[in-house]
Amino acid sequence: MTEKLTTDEIKDLLYQFKGWVQEGEYLRQSYRFPGFSNAIDFVNRVAEAAEQMNHHPEILIQFNKVSITLTSHDVKGITRRDFKMAEAVDRLANLS
């Protein structure tokens, strides 16, 4: 089972993740793309990574803006799995 991170552990890890913020038991980040189709391409890549990692984010699409929300529902909080997914999402955003 994955363990829920402490507030201090989360703060320490967030320094490595530009743009990601903690909001309660969630990590959030938003990305902007040149257009809608670019945003959808990004979301499709995130969906593939989420399936491979078996860790599925909440995704909100607003034309060219995509917001990603991560949490580990099994422990009702943030875990290292969320940061691993955040790393993958950032990498995919840089491909756009």
User: What is the tens place of the pLDDT at every residue in 25-58?
Assistant: 999 999 999 999 999 999 999 999 999 999 999 9
Quick check: 1 pLDDT over 60?
no
* Average pLDDT value for residue range 61-81: 97
Across the strands, what pairs with 72?
Answer: 77
- Say how many CA atoms lie within 13 Å of 22 toward its Cβ: 18
Quick check: 96 pLDDT over 80?
no
User: For the segment 76-93, what is each residue's pLDDT rounded down to a tens digit?
Assistant: 999 999 999 999 999 999
Domains of the chain, CATH where assigned: 7-93 (3.30.1360.20)
Kindly report the pTM of this predicted structure.
0.93
Across the strands, what pairs with 26?
Answer: 23
